[in-house]
């Protein structure tokens, strides 16, 4: 546990001191080709503490510890420390060192002042040994342990923070060596958010790393991550990136100040600019669709999304429209396309409401762009507006926002260009059934009334695939209304198939009147039979 208190810090003094200390240490280790060993002096104080503790009563009976102490060299330095990996692992993870022992032998003028840091120094030293040996995975594991399992302690917050800054730089470089470029950037951003780091070096390194990351993919992940920054354990903060919780120690910065630092940084501005320009230049071209391997495996929950199996067709349509003359220069459209793909990659498509809303709102501009396409492309994009609105509708339904859902359904029904297009009549029928069932479900959640019942009946007449579900919903509403109201409603119910429009059915039970499609082209007698064999009719009229 750290002995310092943030409330007692003279921040101005600390910032000045820290910048000098970090600059000095950075220049010294960055220009050296010697084995990496941040605690070059502290490792020898650790050796002295081991030798000393071997003489105390607390460790008189610890044979393993005494054997380790007996085999120690006259000094530990960056060159010979690698030969004592077993010793370091014992000190890091097995040595039991009580606070009582630390307090008993502590002296500010003696090597025992560093006794409390033995676990940290051993762990950090192991990480440096693995880093020098190019065993980067092990190095990362021990760097993380040095920061969060065996964190340094002491009275100097400057020293502790400088230790963390160095670790973050080394972890970043280790990830870079492993070609984990996203993680390499993230650990540099930890230092950027710290604000006490040698900022010029962070900015320079971020600029060097930026060409190695895919701005189109990384940007939405970064923006999503910033929203999740929150307090962690102790002085640490944590966030979620790509489904993984990551913690970091930003000195005395808050979640809001960390977000502000990133959003105002040159790196973020450059990333955003590159994401848009790359997508505009080539990212949405038909040539780029093929290399996107994940495109073939995109999947959304078919229990929620009625057109789940058409998601690849939808994304391809979005890309084709994005490559038209009108939309290839439209930054908002380009960013929307990037974000939609990112949601699919991260399995968060149910959060893509804003992006789908944009596609819906741009429907008429998109319609104009479709006219400029060749026949094959026109075929590929003919349902883009319908899919966007249906996916939006399904998200709204999943959020139980039923009044809004009913409005979206009316839009699909009544606005030109939003109907489902297909050469397969069965597919069109299935789409209409899905929409009617969704409408019935929304009325069930929103309107416990005769108006809800009459719309559910309209769905029941048409939806063979959802008969059981709709019958159950109608019985729930009918039970809530009571027998008297339901009998009156059913007694007054009239059906009519318009002579001049055989694909439309009118249902009337004063004062309610609705028109629904006649998907199956049923006659008036067939419609009547469907109603009189329904669960609600049998339950209240027989």
Given a contact cutoff of 8 angstroms between Cβ atoms, the answer to whether 117 and 154 are in contact is yes
pLDDT-derived band of residue 29, with 50, 70 and 90 as boundaries?
A: very low
pLDDT at 23 over 70: no
Tell me how far apart the alpha carbons of residues 392 and 389 are, in angstroms, rounded to a whole number: 5
Q: Which of 158, 176, 187, 262 is nearest to 219 (CA)?
A: 262
CA distance 535 to 530: 10
Long-range contacts at 60-64 (CB < 8 A, ≥ 24 apart): 64/90, 64/94
Predicted confidence (pLDDT) at residue 194 exceeds the cutoff of 60: yes
Residue-level pLDDT at 251 = 73
Torsion angle defined by CA atoms of residues 202, 205, 209 and 210, in that order, rounded to the nearest 10 degrees? 60
Residues linked to residue 496 through DSSP beta bridges, in sequence order: 506
By C-alpha distance, which of 166, 209, 189, 233 is closest to 21? 166
As a whole number of angstroms, the distance between CA 187 and CA 185 comes to 6
**pLDDT higher than threshold 70 for residue 184:** yes
Residue 22 has pLDDT above 80, yes or no: no
**How far apart are the C-alpha atoms of 297 and 319, rounded to whole Å?**
16
* Cβ–Cβ under 8 Å, residues 117 and 163: no
For the stretch 129-171, pLDDT in tens is 999 999 999 999 999 999 999 988 875 777 888 888 899 999 9
In sign, the C-alpha dihedral spanning 353, 356, 361, 362 is positive
Whether the upstream peptide bond of residue 348 has omega within 30° of 0, thus cis, is: no
In this model, does residue 408 exceed pLDDT 70? yes
**Alpha-carbon distances, residue 422 vs 386, 387, 474 (angstroms):** 12, 13, 31
Q: What is the pLDDT of residue 297?
A: 59
pLDDT single digits (tens) 291-324: 344 455 567 777 677 888 888 888 888 888 888 8
CA 361/CA 541 separation, integer angstroms: 46
**C-alpha distances in Å from residue 342, one per residue of 7, 269, 295, 408:** 41, 19, 11, 25
- 392 touches 404 (CB < 8 A): no
Confidence of residue 276 (pLDDT cuts 50, 70, 90): low
Token pair, residue 65, equals 């510890």
Helices (H), 58-113: 63-70, 85-93, 99-105
Task: Express each pLDDT in 330-380 by its tens digit.
Answer: 878 888 888 888 887 777 888 888 888 888 888 777 777 788 888 888 888
Tell me the C-alpha distance between 183 and 294, whole Å: 21
What are 326's two structure tokens? 């009108």
d(CA 340, CA 311): 11
Is the pLDDT at 15 greater than 60, yes or no?
no
Please give the average per-residue pLDDT across 486-504, as a whole number: 75
Mean pLDDT lowest among 111-115, 198-202, 214-218: 198-202
| b/e code 42-68 from CB counts within 10 Å (16+ = b) | bbbbbbbbbebbbeeebbeeeeebeeb
**186 vs 436: which has the higher pLDDT:** 186
Q: How confident is the model at residue 278 (pLDDT cuts 50, 70, 90)?
A: low
Answering whether pTM is above 0.95, one says no
Average pLDDT value over all residues in the chain: 81
Nearest to 84 by CA among 138, 143, 44: 44
CB distance 380 to 320 below 8 Å: yes
For 503, phi and psi rounded to 5 degrees?
-95, 15
Whether 125 and 81 have beta carbons less than 8 Å apart is answered as yes
Identify the residue whose tokens are 């606070």: 99
**Percent of the chain surpassing pLDDT 90:** 28
Beta-bridge mates of residue 238? 230, 247
End-to-end CA distance of the chain: 77
Span 496-502, average pLDDT: 56
Q: What's the rounded Cα separation, in Å, for the pair 296 and 291?
A: 10
3-state secondary structure of 177: helix
| CB-count exposure of residue 495 (10 Å: 0-12, 13-18, 19+) | buried
Using pLDDT thresholds of 50, 70 and 90, give the confidence band for residue 105: confident
DSSP per residue, 354-394: HHHHHHHHTHHHHHHHHTTS-HHHHHHHTTHHHHHHHHHHH
More confident residue, 70 or 371: 70
Residue 40 pLDDT exceeds 50 = yes
In angstroms, the CA 225 to CA 258 distance is 11
Strands of 225-277 (E only): list them: 230-231, 237-241, 244-248
Alpha helix (H) ranges present in 279-322?
286-289, 311-322
Portion of the chain with pLDDT greater than 70, in percent: 85
Lowest mean pLDDT among 54-58, 137-141, 302-306, 396-400: 302-306
């Amino acid at each position: 546990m750290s002995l310092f208190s943030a409330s007692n810090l003279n921040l101005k003094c600390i910032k000045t001191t820290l910048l000098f200390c970090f600059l000095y240490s950075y220049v010294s280790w960055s220009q050296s080709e010697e084995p990496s060993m941040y605690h070059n002096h502290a490792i020898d104080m650790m050796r002295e503490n081991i030798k000393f503790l071997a003489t105390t009563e607390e460790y008189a009976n610890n044979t393993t510890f005494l054997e380790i102490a007996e085999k120690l060299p006259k000094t530990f330095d960056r060159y010979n420390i690698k030969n004592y990996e077993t010793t370091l692992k014992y000190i890091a993870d097995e040595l039991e060192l009580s606070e009582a022992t630390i307090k008993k032998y502590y002296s500010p003028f003696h090597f025992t002042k560093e006794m409390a840091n033995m676990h940290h120094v051993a762990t950090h030293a192991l990480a440096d040994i693995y880093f020098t040996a190019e065993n980067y995975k092990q190095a990362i594991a021990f760097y993380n342990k040095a920061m969060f399992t065996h964190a340094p302690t002491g009275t100097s917050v400057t020293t502790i923070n400088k230790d963390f800054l160095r670790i973050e730089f080394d972890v970043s470089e280790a990830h870079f060596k492993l070609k984990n470029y996203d993680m390499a950037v993230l650990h540099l951003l930890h230092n950027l958010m710290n604000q006490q780091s040698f900022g010029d070096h962070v900015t320079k390194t971020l600029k060097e790393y930026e060409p190695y990351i895919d701005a189109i993919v990384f940007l939405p992940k970064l923006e999503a991550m910033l929203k999740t920054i929150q307090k962690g354990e102790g002085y640490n903060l944590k966030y979620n990136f790509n489904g993984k919780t990551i913690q970091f120690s930003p000195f005395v910065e808050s979640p809001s100040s960390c977000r502000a630092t990133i959003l105002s940084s040159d790196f973020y501005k450059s990333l955003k600019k590159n994401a848009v320009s790359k997508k505009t230049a080539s990212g949405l071209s038909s040539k780029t669709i093929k290399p996107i391997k994940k495109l073939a495996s995109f999947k959304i929950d078919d229990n929620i999304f009625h057109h789940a199996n058409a998601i690849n067709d939808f994304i391809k349509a979005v890309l084709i429209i994005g490559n038209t003359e009108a939309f290839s220069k439209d930054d908002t459209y380009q960013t929307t396309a990037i974000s939609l793909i990112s949601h699919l990659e991260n399995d968060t498509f149910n959060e893509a409401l804003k992006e789908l809303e944009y596609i819906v709102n741009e429907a008429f501009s998109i319609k104009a762009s479709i006219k400029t396409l060749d026949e094959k492309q026109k075929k590929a994009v003919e349902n883009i507006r319908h899919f966007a609105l249906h996916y939006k509708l399904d998200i709204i339904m999943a959020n139980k926002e039923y009044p809004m859902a009913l409005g979206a359904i009316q839009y699909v029904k009544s606005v030109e260009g939003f109907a489902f297009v297909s050469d397969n009549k069965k597919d069109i029928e299935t789409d209409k059934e899905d929409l009617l069932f969704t409408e019935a479900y929304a009325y069930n959640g929103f309107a416990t009334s005769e108006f809800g019942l009459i719309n559910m009946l309209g769905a029941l007449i048409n939806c063979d695939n959802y008969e059981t579900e709709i019958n159950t919903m109608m019985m729930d509403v009918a039970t809530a209304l009571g027998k008297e109201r339901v009998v009156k409603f059913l007694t007054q119910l009239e059906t009519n198939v318009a002579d001049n429009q055989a694909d439309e059915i009118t249902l009337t039970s004063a004062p309610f009147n609705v028109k629904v499609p006649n998907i199956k082209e049923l006659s008036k007698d067939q419609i009547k039979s469907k109603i009189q064999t329904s669960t609600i009719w049998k339950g209240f009229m027989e």
